[in-house]
């Protein structure tokens, strides 16, 4: 008789565990349903959301639609320029920085007569004429 009661208690325990698991599934199912409804609402009103984002961006940055069009066009032209250049004419960031540094170095040397531009004594005692 004890074995029948033990089996019955075990079955009740398994039923309780299954109830807990099914509750978790229903909670997750409700979350999935809510997320699906949210995504559906956004996808049906994309123009409204994009307009809201554009308005918020324009308000925070002070840029107008014509400013944004100008920046988009300028960026597109820069990208096009890079792709139209022959690969050997393209410069990576490091090469461009080195070229600018060399150009600035030559200008500094010319202005300061090959002296160190940080030498404030030279700059202060230089005759202006």
Based on the structure, what is the number of domains in the chain?
1
> Is residue 9 domain-resident?
yes
> Is residue 98 domain-resident?
no
> Is residue 73 domain-resident?
no
Question: Would you list the DSSP string of 30-44?
Answer: HHHHHHHHHHHHHHH
Contact 42, 49 (CB under 8 A): yes
Smallest Cα–Cα separation from 82: which of 73, 72, 90, 92?
Answer: 90
Q: Which domain holds residue 41?
A: 2-62
> Is residue 22 domain-resident?
yes
CA angle 110, 112, 115 (to 5 degrees): 110
> Is residue 48 domain-resident?
yes
Tens of each residue's pLDDT in the chain, 129 residues: 567 778 888 888 888 898 888 888 787 788 889 999 999 999 999 999 999 998 898 899 898 888 889 999 999 998 888 888 776 666 677 877 888 888 888 887 777 765 555 555 554 444 454
């Amino acid at each position: 008789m004890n074995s029948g009661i033990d089996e019955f208690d075990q079955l009740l325990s398994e039923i309780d565990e299954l109830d807990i698991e099914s509750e978790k599934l229903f909670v997750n199912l409700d979350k999935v349903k809510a997320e699906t409804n949210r995504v559906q609402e956004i996808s049906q009103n994309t123009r409204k959301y994009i307009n809201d984002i554009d308005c918020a961006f324009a308000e925070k940055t002070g840029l107008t639609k014509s400013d944004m069009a100008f920046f988009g066009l300028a960026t597109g032209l820069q990208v096009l320029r890079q792709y139209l250049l022959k690969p050997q004419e393209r410069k990576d960031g490091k090469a461009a920085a080195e070229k600018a540094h060399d150009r600035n170095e030559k200008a500094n040397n010319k202005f300061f007569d090959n002296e160190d531009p940080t030498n404030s004594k030279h700059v202060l005692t230089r005759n202006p004429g």
